[in-house]
A and B are shown apart, each in its own frame.
Chain A
Amino acid sequence: MSEVRLQIKNLCKSFGITRAVQDVSFDIMKGEVHALIGENGSGKSTLTNCLTGIYSKDSGQFILDGKEINPRNQVEANDEGVSIIVQELGTLDSLTVAENIFLGHENKFVKFGIKNTAAMNSQANDLLKQYGFDRIKASEMVDSYNFEDRKLVEIVKATYFNPKIVVVDETTTALSQEGREELYKHINRIREEGNTVIFISHDLQEVLRMSDSITVLRDGVYIDTVKSADVNEDDLKKLMVGREVSGSYYRADYGEAVSDEVVLTAKGVTVPGLIQDISFELHKGEILGFGGLSESGMHEVGKAVFGASFDREGSVTLSDGTGIKDIPTAIAHSMAYTSKDRDNESVVMNQGIGDNICLPSLDSISNKAGILMSKKMKEFAGKHAATMSVKMVNTDQFVSDLSGGNKQKVVLARWIGKDSDILVLDSPTRGIDIKVKQDIYQLMDRMRKEGKSIIMISEEMAELIGMCDRILIMKDGRINAELMRDPNMDENKLIEQMV
């Protein structure tokens, strides 16, 4: 445990005028799980992206087992013994599972220019079997597997060659509990084999449970490295934010009566193959939670309520009798929706922060002649970006330049700007740091008090328990249980109904 595996010396990386990593230096040991934590935009992913060749560093050194490394891409990083499992999807459509696993390393299967597909498939199948993923077939197109399975393929791809360092970059936020346990198993295996894991996560409980040491970054600057055994969650929060995270984290109230006024009624909502016969009422000022395993159908409920599902049956009706069958009707009647799949379904990546925030509010921003004034758009976007503390150069900055958490802030700023009365928030705090999480919880609480109604879909049981007036637990596409807000409720009660 005492031998240094990786020395990071005076690392700097900037994007334009944004200094993402500033003169960062610290050591990572052999045979440890070393967590990297910090708020969104603190430089965690930038640092590891430099280490794995995704970005090129501006200055500084990575010294691996005494030798300086300067990988220019992931394959060179792999050759040096460094690999990464990324936050979002890291496999490529139109390629088979085997082709994805060995992408960039095909040469060992190529003789006289001809690729031995059978040998590649055979070796990939052997690896999948070794990892216990033998239901995934090497010769199948990776497109035919779901998100979780594709993450499992990534685990194989990143670790099969026994790398010295594996970076796990906020991967767990995209996984269900089962997927997380699978990943934890492999993290422990890597540590037991004497190799190192750099573990990035916003879930501090998970960080404390999984890691041996923790390095904290703030605004691209190194703050401290601590032993996991010597700290608790509050210590980490303080290090991350730079001050005590005061006040209540979740809602503090219990026993408050929810209004009898029903703002939305779902009756017999069915999406073939995904959800079946979902009926519920949403009350004014209520936070209604949906929980369950990742594939339980809860994420589809959000889409179905918002009119975004295909082939939806049943009805979703507002208090004034308006039926919600499509997205334009939902938005026109003051509904908002944030998707779990942030990059593909929520933000327009290659447009500015301002455009993203203003998108659903253009009618109200434009003047009577329908003309949009850029000054007014900037003011609108700036105001709501500031409410959400988006870390940015200005509102013209492209969303693609932002960290995962900051993208989520942009999505929320958009709907705050729209001042919607019914919000459907699917995984609203996914990939978001502790400080902004608290801000979002407080924002939800404020909205609730203002009479806005929220449907909160989440795989994080703690936030469902902490924030919701009522929780509907989904199982196999149906509502399996209804749990009321209760100070004595714990995660076990939810789990019992989920599995």
Chain B
Amino acid sequence: MGIETTAPKSTMISGKVKGYIILIALVVVSWAVFKVITPNNFGSPENMLSYLQASLIAATGAIGFYFVMVMGMFDFSIGANIMLSAIVGCVLATKLNLGYFGLVAGCIITGALVGLVNGSFYVKLRIPSMIVTTGLALIYESIANYIAGGVVQTLPADLRAFGQMPGDIILAVVAFVVAYLILNYTKIGTYTYAIGSNEFVTKNMGINVNKYKVLAFIISGAFLGTMAILTISYGSSMVAVTGMASMSRNFVPTMGCFFGLAFRKYGIPFPAIIIGEFVINIIFFGFIALGAPTAIQDVITGLALLIIITLTTRVNKGEIVK
């Protein structure tokens, strides 16, 4: 007979259900608030479908970024990566006449290469990932600007299938399935959590921690490349900005990733990222419907996000939060 053991505090099923209930409640509440304030030009079923489509774009990048964040690292070059990948994909598709193949392969491979460079510099230089990726973001912006030749890169209408239904949904769903498989059904997923939990012990288990850190950046980059396909297809063009202006693109995927981290304890990080991005977009489009000035939109969006994450992240008493 074994000794008495403590049963887990809650089963994963009830945890998951609870997580979904909170997420769905957030969707309903954010929709209801704006629907009451501006009933005529917000929140119809058609509107909600378009918000969902917009949210899938950022969610695609956020699920990749999740691998980096769970390991305890950060990436400030997300926006620069999306911009560079989109420009390379667009140039390959249009100027080299490679069509959809050029767009898809160009974006994803460029994204993954950016991830490889980020990860390699991080493990070789042994300096914090935030600093490495901030420095590299400047370089990626300059490369993008050079490739674009200072000109707006536009994707022709006949190459924009991923900017509308069903192309965008298909690509996003494929990305989610791949990310889900990697996280739950490969060693990479196990090691991602292990490194995030205790890097020293993981190393002692014979796991090449640096290799998996680089791999996390590559995976993140590839998914950000996929986000670049959706971004340029949805918006039809991309401008190569410099001087860290690309960082404005960091916000939405990063926020979605925070939802994933907050709901990890419920066992539903990816659904949380997808639904979290949806909530962010509902709030964003709600403000547009209200005609609120951009500055006010940013202030309230920021505050709303802090409130949502605070309310949904139930930190155990005494738990250290950094």
Contacts and interface: CB of A to CB of B under 8 A. Distances in A.
Partners in one complex: yes
A115 B186 contact: yes
A310 B187 CA distance: 38
Nearest to A153: B5
Contacts of B7: 135
B174 interface: no
Contacts of B317: 310-311
Contact of A114 (B11, B181, B264, B318): B181
A76 B186 contact: no
B248 interface: no
A136 interface: yes
A103 B70 CA distance: 18
Interface in B176-217: 181, 184-187, 189-190, 193-194, 196-198, 201-207
Interface in A83-120: 90, 92-95, 99, 103-104, 106-107, 110, 113-117
Contact of A92 (B8, B184, B187, B197): B197
Contacts of A75: 205-207
Interface string A131-147: 11111110111001110
A73 B201 CA distance: 10
A109 B155 CA distance: 44
B205 A103 contact: yes
Nearest to B181: A114
A137 B202 contact: no
Interface string A14-57: 00000000000000000000000000000000000000011000
A261 interface: no
Contact of B186 (A90, A113, A145): A113
Contacts, number: 103
A73 B193 contact: no
Given A54-B204, A114-B181, A115-B186, A178 B197 contact: no
B6 A146 contact: yes
Contacts of A131: 2
B95 interface: no
Contacts of A90: 201
A367 to B, nearest CB: 32
Contacts of A182: 2-3
A144 B8 contact: yes
A53 B204 CA distance: 7
A3 B37 CA distance: 84
A276 interface: no
Interface in A216-258: none
Contacts of A115: 185-187, 189-190
A152 B1 CA distance: 13
Contacts of A178: 3-4
B9 interface: yes
A74 interface: yes
B206 A76 contact: yes
A140 B1 CA distance: 21
A139 B15 CA distance: 14
B5 A133 contact: yes
Interface core residue of B181, B193, B204, B317 (most chain A CB under 10 Å): B204
Contacts of B10: 144
Nearest to B2: A132
Contact of B187 (A110, A133, A135, A137): A110
B211 to A, nearest CB: 13
Interface in B1-59: 1-12
A114 B203 contact: no
Contacts of A92: 193-194, 197-198, 201-202
Given A144-B9, A145-B8, A311-B317, A95 B194 contact: yes
Nearest to B205: A104
Contacts of B3: 148, 152, 178-179, 181-182
Contacts of B207: 75, 103-104
B282 to A, nearest CB: 30
A114 B2 contact: no
Contacts of A181: 3
Contacts of A310: 317-318
Contacts of B190: 95, 99, 103, 106, 115
A99 B196 CA distance: 14
A73 B206 contact: yes
B47 to A, nearest CB: 38
Contacts of A73: 203-206
A149 to B, nearest CB: 5
Nearest to A110: B187
Given A103-B190, A132-B1, A74 B6 contact: no
Nearest to A133: B2
A72 B189 CA distance: 24
A134 B10 CA distance: 17
A99 B183 CA distance: 13
A74 B206 contact: yes
B183 to A, nearest CB: 11
B204 A74 contact: yes
A140 B206 contact: no
A54 B201 CA distance: 9
A135 B2 contact: yes
Interface string B226-254: 00000000000000000000000000000
Nearest to A92: B197
Nearest to A136: B5
A473 B198 CA distance: 36
Contacts of A54: 204
Contacts of B264: 94
Interface string A144-162: 1110110010000000000
A136 B1 CA distance: 13
Nearest to B9: A144
Contacts of A132: 1-2
B186 A103 contact: no
A126 to B, nearest CB: 14
A377 B89 CA distance: 61
Nearest to B320: A344
Interface core residue of B187, B189, B206 (most chain A CB under 10 Å): B206
Contact of B2 (A113, A141, A152): A152
Nearest to A113: B186
A99 B188 CA distance: 12
Contacts of B2: 131-135, 152, 182
A117 B12 contact: no
B5 A103 contact: no
A328 to B, nearest CB: 16
A75 B201 CA distance: 11
Contact of A149 (B5, B9, B70, B194): B5
Given A74-B205, A75-B206, A94-B196, A135 B5 contact: yes
Top 4 A-B residue pairs of the complex, sorted by shortest distance between their CB atoms: A75-B206, A132-B2, A144-B8, A104-B205
Interface of A: 53-54, 72-76, 90, 92-95, 99, 103-104, 106-107, 110, 113-117, 131-137, 139-141, 144-146, 148-149, 152, 178-179, 181-182, 310-311
Given A114-B185, A135-B5, 17 more contacts: A53-B206, A73-B206, A74-B204, A92-B197, A94-B193, A95-B194, A104-B205, A114-B186, A116-B185, A117-B184, A117-B185, A133-B2, A133-B5, A135-B4, A149-B6, A152-B2, A152-B3
10 contacts: A72-B206, A74-B205, A94-B193, A99-B194, A103-B190, A115-B186, A131-B2, A179-B3, A181-B3, A310-B317
